[in-house]
Structure 1
Amino acid sequence: MSDWRKSAACAGYDPELWFPGNSQLMRREAIHICHTCPVMMQCRKYAETNNQICGYPLQGIWGGKEFTPRKYRRRIPR
């Protein structure tokens, strides 16, 4: 993994914020922080090219975009 994570705006926050579950408030806050991040696009690109992390399906908010496991994607309203 590259050094872009060291410059991420999310580095000083609780990681749970990027896994909001059903909380719209947490989701909005995380995405707002992402949009202030100098490495937002590197983060999103990493998520788009890595569909698994430590053997688990990628999920959560990465680079201002929410990723969910494929089997659950249809259930989330757009």
Structure 2
Amino acid sequence: MRVIAIEQQTLYTLRFYMPGGFQRTAANDEHLVVHQSMVSRALHAITTPIIEHLVDRWIRFPATEEEKARAKEGYWGATKISGVITT
């Protein structure tokens, strides 16, 4: 298994996050030529610490029925997609 530098792993991960796309997008980027499985490992290596250290601080799910209703209305207003939050 080839080892890639943390800087490269970060670039692969950022390239994946940018379009909100798939691992193949990052793997097929002409500037970041690498196998999809390498992108997958990089995503895991970079994303796991982000989740472990930042998720509780920045992401909160609606807990009460009122919060859920507000979130549904807000999402519907922005996307016209209904039923995104269920109990």
TM-score (norm 2): 0.31
Q: Which has the higher contact order (CA 8 A, sep 6+)?
A: 1
More strand per residue: 1 or 2?
A: 1
Bigger radius of gyration, 1 or 2?
Answer: 2
TM-score (norm 1): 0.33
